[in-house]
Structure 1
Amino acid sequence: MALKTDSLQITPQVLALVAEIDEFKGAWRALGTLAPERLSALRRVATIESVGSSTRIEGSKLTDAEVKRLLSNLEIKSFESRDEQEVAGYAQVMEMIFAHFDAIDLTENHIMQLHRDLLSFSDKDERHRGAYKTLANHVSAFDADGKEIGVVFETATPFDTPHRMKELIEWTYKALNEQSLHPLLVIATFIVVFLEIHPFQDGNGRLSRVLTTLLLMRSGYAYVPYSSMESVIENSKEGYYLALRQTQKTIRGDAPDWQPWITYFLRALQQQKRRLEKKIERERLVLGTLPELSLQIVDAVKERGRVTIGEIVNLTGANRNTVKKHLATLTQAKHLTQHGTGKGTWYGL
């Protein structure tokens, strides 16, 4: 059954959201003129947030600090817990997309390859990674003890999955190439239908967010790696699931209601963009006014999350009293916050 997108209404609200996001997309070349090392620092922070948030949405318990530690040791290629395995797989796939998005077209083979790589460290998923589901995987609700209490949403059957995926990919490819719909609306539609099909036994939510990043970057939204969309979704998880369900239950009907999901999706992109605007403004402010030692201190705090006076002295080789003066200035200007007193004092953003 062909996707019915003729019921997709371009409301004034949708138009305003698309215009705001596209204005930032066009301005990114000017906004993104920070020094390469500053952009790299922004991307590192956003990647940690994205990996942490996307895996926590699916039940992982790792904090961003734990994710950061894990990512600094990815070369070990051996992870004890399922949470660690999922984080390692997600981080590896995101880095591949950032580096090679222009070479990864939207095809069934590429989607299956991304799924395989996403679960490459997950022992439990070894049998089904990179292959469509063979068992029903309806979305269920569970009680506090982990017992299933009912089906929230029925996904495509294993029998229907291959032709529904083929249909979805062909529609998306055609819509993006013919520009019959704005790319943001095409991407939003692809994601909600992909999750309605739920084509793989596991990992569909994480893969949908990987594919969102891929499609956005392929559509020219080059700023995406520097601000975490996954973090926005984690912070509005109830709205995320509500919007998905409201649209998904209508997709196979005569008049699909695309509006709840598309509005949520565009608002999430708006939030992602606004967060990055604030970060860029802060970077500019810092870069334009602070002396070199102060910049080194701010970088150290961004890198580590928190620092002590002794750590800064060791890192920079600067005199202890000089470091104290710079910290006092940074704290007074609200670039940093002081925590504790005496020997237990440390500084954070």
Structure 2
Amino acid sequence: MRSFIDLDRTIGRVPSRVVTMLSAVDVGRGSEALYRDQMPGLLESLAQYARVASVMTSSAIEGVIVSDATRAEGIIGGRVQILRNRNEKELAGYRDALDYLLREDWGPLNTGLLLHLHRLLFAHTASGGGSFKTHDNLVVDRAPDGTSTIRFKPVSAADTGFHVQELIEHYRDAIERREHHPVLLIGLFVLDLLVIHPFEDGNGRVARAVTNALLSDAGYDVVRYVSLEQAIAESVDAYYQALLDSTHGWHTGRSDPWPWLGYFVERLAAAYATFARRAAAGRSDGTKQDRVREYVLQHAPAVFRVSDIRAALPGISDPTIRMVLARLREDGAVAAEGTGRSAAWHRTPNTEAPNR
């Protein structure tokens, strides 16, 4: 809410680095229609992978982890009906909240929507959800020795409903006026929502799920095909530091939004770059085995798993991927640590360096 009081002051002067990244984001957005028209099958495969990755990684950021990957994917896919513990129940809850927002008719953005998402998030647990906090809370870091450090102080429980409603009204008004870049407005909305911290638990997950919905609603559909939550999880220290840096002085209207907005736009630009790489790999010439071989030798990370290849090359089966990896290992081009689904692969020193 406070970030929207004077938008010209808050984001009127965009740092050149952020301008450059916003340009990359908008170029990426312009390419989405081409892929939707020409490669609907590819996008469906990417969307399925992104959905699973989003549920698992957004939950993992908050310590909600189902260690059995096969069971976790079964829960997300709706194939596991009996949920054994709280982690599995909260994983299913985030699945339900995210799926609700993937619908075309999830809107409009209002207080009721946020409460409904929170209700979905905890619907499988005994505690339930769907209400704002009733006690003042603090956001703290807890050290291994048990000590804690206050990161920031959210608004009071008594003022939460007012602040949430005012934030939504300011955001919707700013979007309608179209005087500032929508990605920056979405980033500000998420920042203020997290500082308000309206719930006892689940604030980060609700905020990340809403982020996807708002970006898609503004025409940035890449979040349907590349997991923004996964990108955040892979840079979680930077995520928390950017939020912390932009909360200093928030209550007095003197905060600096650019640490957070810079991080936010950077992650979105990276998502578009990932989308472009995966789309290009999905439509490249050659047999499926050739495409796997090219990806492993030319584009894969230094350490990768079968799931990384599956995500980069939608439509190629795991048996095909494993067959190519087996041949490359016989040729001495790659080596593996571990076995089965958890095996980590890497190129050997004499392998051609990746061309990126």
**TM-score band, normalised by shorter chain:** 0.7 to 0.9
SS in 2 for 1:185: helix
- Deviation of the 1:330 alpha carbon: 8.0
8 Å Cα contact 2:163/2:196 also seen in 1:
yes
8 Å Cα contact 1:82/1:122 also seen in 2:
yes
Residues 122-144 of structure 1: per-residue CA shift (max 9 Å, x gap): 22x32xx1111001221112132
CA–CA separation in structure 2 for the residues paired with 1:194 and 1:244: 11
- Residues paired across the two proteins, number: 317
8 Å Cα contact 1:48/1:64 also seen in 2:
no
Q: Does 1:122 align with 2:125?
A: yes
For residues 144-159 of structure 1, what are the structure 2 equivalents within 5 Å?
Answer: 144=144, 147-159=146-158
Match of 1:85 in 2: 89
Match of 1:319 in 2: none
Amino acid aligned to 1:135: H
Match of 1:141 in 2: 141
CA–CA separation in structure 2 for the residues paired with 1:258 and 1:294: 42
8 Å Cα contact 2:55/2:76 also seen in 1:
no
Q: Does 1:131 align with 2:131?
A: yes
Amino acid aligned to 1:221: Y
Match of 1:234 in 2: 233
SS in 2 for 1:195: helix
SS in 2 for 1:150: strand
- Deviation of the 1:256 alpha carbon: 2.6
CA–CA separation in structure 1 for the residues paired with 2:258 and 2:239: 13
Uncovered stretches (5+) of structure 1, i.e. residues with no partner: 306-311, 317-322, 341-345
Q: Provide the TM-score with structure 2 as the length reference.
A: 0.79
Match of 1:184 in 2: 183
8 Å Cα contact 2:74/2:80 also seen in 1:
no
8 Å Cα contact 1:175/1:186 also seen in 2:
yes
CA–CA separation in structure 2 for the residues paired with 1:291 and 1:154: 53
8 Å Cα contact 2:175/2:182 also seen in 1:
yes
Match of 2:245 in 1: 246
Amino acid aligned to 1:137: N
163-172 vs 31-40, greater mean Cα deviation = 31-40
Equivalent of 1:113, from 111, 116, 127? Answer: 116
Match of 1:70 in 2: 75
Match of 1:17 in 2: 21
Match of 2:302 in 1: none
Change in 2 beyond 3 A, CA 1:304/1:95? farther
8 Å Cα contact 1:74/1:88 also seen in 2:
no
- Deviation of the 1:190 alpha carbon: 0.2
Change in 2 beyond 3 A, CA 1:347/1:293? farther
Residues 107-162 of structure 1: per-residue CA shift (max 9 Å, x gap): 11111111111211122x32xx11110012211121326x3523221111101111
Equivalent of 2:40, from 36, 39, 42? Answer: 36
Q: Does 1:290 align with 2:294?
A: no
Change in 2 beyond 3 A, CA 1:212/1:122? same
SS in 2 for 1:140: strand
Match of 2:164 in 1: 165
Change in 2 beyond 3 A, CA 1:87/1:104? same
Equivalent pairs: percent with the same residue? 26
Equivalent of 2:58, from 32, 54, 61? Answer: 54
Match of 1:280 in 2: 279
- Deviation of the 1:244 alpha carbon: 0.4
CA–CA separation in structure 1 for the residues paired with 2:14 and 2:216: 23
Change in 2 beyond 3 A, CA 1:303/1:245? closer
Uncovered stretches (5+) of structure 2, i.e. residues with no partner: 296-305, 311-316, 338-342, 347-356
- Deviation of the 1:338 alpha carbon: 7.5
CA–CA separation in structure 1 for the residues paired with 2:33 and 2:144: 48
- Deviation of the 1:347 alpha carbon: 11
- Deviation of the 1:37 alpha carbon: 3.4
Q: Does 1:200 align with 2:204?
A: no
Residues 187-208 of structure 1: per-residue CA shift (max 9 Å, x gap): 0000000000000111000000
8 Å Cα contact 1:49/1:64 also seen in 2:
no
SS in 2 for 1:159: helix
Amino acid aligned to 1:14: V
